[in-house]
Chains A and B, each alone.
Chain A
């Protein structure tokens, strides 16, 4: 037993040196305790594009109506239980003017990379501190995320 404890300590020490002590605490995406927000350990510097694979989303000035319609259908199933189209908070923040407040990259990264964003992105963390319910990752595809963004634009008055 003693031997086990000693070797465990050695192992932990080794990990600590190697990973600067942070590595062991990072939850595997999607496996964090249900609903209980964890204190963000490492907050990245604010990046208006957020954290995730979307770093350059090209958005034409005019609305793509067919894409927005698809986005509306996805939203009705997966988003609008918790978000209102007005500026009122329901479970999550209201969507009004969200496309004016956030970059398309930030929104799409938040939709698809929810866990990491809630962990590290200062803006997402601020939001969580208000809502206190972690946004569920609703497993949208990249395409669906883009469609939802287009629908948000439509709601915000883009023609």
Chain B
């Protein structure tokens, strides 16, 4: 902290001494220009220009912010249970978190990627990767819900993911941690012989978006870090940065920093497709889970798969090539023209820019520097377009504005640097608060960036906001990049530790937003379409409650005849057909969460009563002037009790008006 402060102070002092036109701020207060507030201001009732989908890091969730206001619009649970929405708690969504390890209720969500058509973001889906128990998720942007999660076999730490090809043909997933793939029980220090990497190409169905692992590449046992798809002329290629070409298995901070250059691995996936057509793929026995949320049945279909098609690039020589890249590269980013691949070494003090055409010529002319584990190494100079000299310290990630400029984040020197791709000259630099990781321009990794704003996602927040104990939120900073110089206009706190993010023009998404689930189309097996269909059914020790919710009551709201030892399943259908009217459902003492049920949806809470007594149920989401009255009671009797199963809208000692002539015939008693 002291050290950082000193650096900050030093740079402030330096900035003060610098002549006019320097972009280092004189102080925090003057870091923001006079009209910055106007540029970030979105009046109440007015909508933002962009949706910003931000990785939630170790929270396992994805957050959605409006740009330029920085308003938090939504938190989408993806890889982690979320009691607010009942995600991972309701019977219907538990299956989304199934892996080959069983129910896996947390992951480390690293990167987000919006689906593309013809190299442009199209607003249909956002993909996200789970780094810990390797998974890729697809979020449907009609509902802003996780629609699908696929696990990755032969992988440990899905990091260079979920990057997409320009027509969303594939989403990729490279393993961060190489592991033994065939015999898992080996000494760790046999890393060099036994540990292998994999790159998975997950095919995406054009219409449904459904994912299916098309093939896996067996690779050397390095650590794959990030990836970027070719586009335009380089469509058909994929580029992966990797570190630990030393293949160290201990103290990597030293032992994986020995070589001056690591690699960018170039993958010709069109060639891989040809080999698969020619039958060169080998089927391997594996075990991984695939989970899809079905919007008709409001339920998850979960299956364990057992086979994956594998290709060996050391045999099929023209799929993979290694390009040396200084030093411990973290990022690789392809520019909008598809010609330039910008590498970055997190320990390097320069930015190497590779040329796609030169790379192809080098391959044709076999300008190799030997092989790395059976994969040809292209000569560095043969693929290099040029280097940006001394741009800053610790380059990480690069985004593009589509006007020939690149913006690179510098972790060590805490800044964003704008430079020209053609002449490799630095044009502008701005400080960040502090230690920037990823950065994002809407469409900044696509063929058509929408370069109005740039957002920096910082790892450290320190003194930016009011202190909140030892832990502080991370911070994001929005820069206006419409002019020649970057201008800071706003910063805002973020959830978890954000990694990559993506943004898209709001109208591409908002016009398709689902407002309700049509109740006529609800095919949940235990739906109650109207109070006339509500009932309670005993199946052995399982009791199924078919309930409905509408402003401002449940049907039934009095349930008796539950016995200790029963498992009670509340299948609650929200009868509303009105936008923004979810109902909540909670039971006292349930070792679970609430349900949050969207209009027209059916959702199920499992409750195992642990004692005899009267248990209130109630609605948790304020729904009307009589929301507080939206409640009921469940009676739990001893295990050997003969209290008959009964449900109703209550009898109020026989004098209640509502019980005399229940609309839709909702009072019922089951035959014993």
A interface residues, Cβ below 8 angstroms from B: 1, 4, 30-31, 34-37, 76-78, 80-86, 88, 90-91, 132-134, 136-140
Contact = CB atoms under 8 A, between A and B. Distances in A.
A78 B663 contact: no
Interface string B438-476: 000000000000000000000000000000000000000
B577 interface: yes
Interface in B308-324: none
Contacts of B533: 76
B550 A136 contact: yes
Contacts of B627: 35
B529 A77 contact: yes
A4 B35 CA distance: 9
B661 A136 contact: no
A78 B551 contact: no
17 contacts: A4-B38, A4-B41, A30-B579, A30-B580, A34-B580, A34-B624, A76-B532, A77-B519, A78-B575, A80-B663, A81-B530, A81-B663, A81-B664, A132-B626, A138-B577, A138-B578, A139-B577
A155 to B, nearest CB: 11
The 6 closest A-B pairs by CB, nearest first: A35-B624, A76-B530, A138-B577, A77-B530, A139-B577, A80-B664
Contact of B553 (A84, A91, A140): A91
Interface string B547-576: 010111101000000000000000000011
Contact of B581 (A1, A34, A78): A34
A81 B624 contact: no
For the complex, would chain B's binding face be called helix, strand, loop or mixed by DSSP majority?
A: loop
Contacts of B664: 76, 80-81
A3 to B, nearest CB: 8
A35 B551 contact: yes
B658 interface: yes
Interface in B578-628: 578-581, 622-627
Contacts of B553: 81, 91
A137 B600 CA distance: 13
B516 interface: yes
For the complex, would chain A's binding face be called helix, strand, loop or mixed by DSSP majority?
A: loop
Q: Give chain B's interface residue range (CB within 8 Å of chain A).
A: 35 or more
A137 B530 contact: no
Interface string B34-47: 00011001000000
- Count chain B CB atoms within 10 A of each CB in A1, A77, A83, A91 and give the residue with the most: A77
Contacts of B655: none
B657 interface: yes
Contacts of A78: 519, 530, 575, 577
Contacts of A76: 529-533, 664
Nearest to A8: B43
A130 to B, nearest CB: 12
Given A133-B552, A136-B577, A138-B576, A83 B663 contact: yes
Given A4-B38, A35-B551, A90-B658, A136 B625 contact: no
B657 A88 contact: yes
Contacts of B661: 84-86, 88
Interface string B517-555: 011100000000111110000000000000010111101
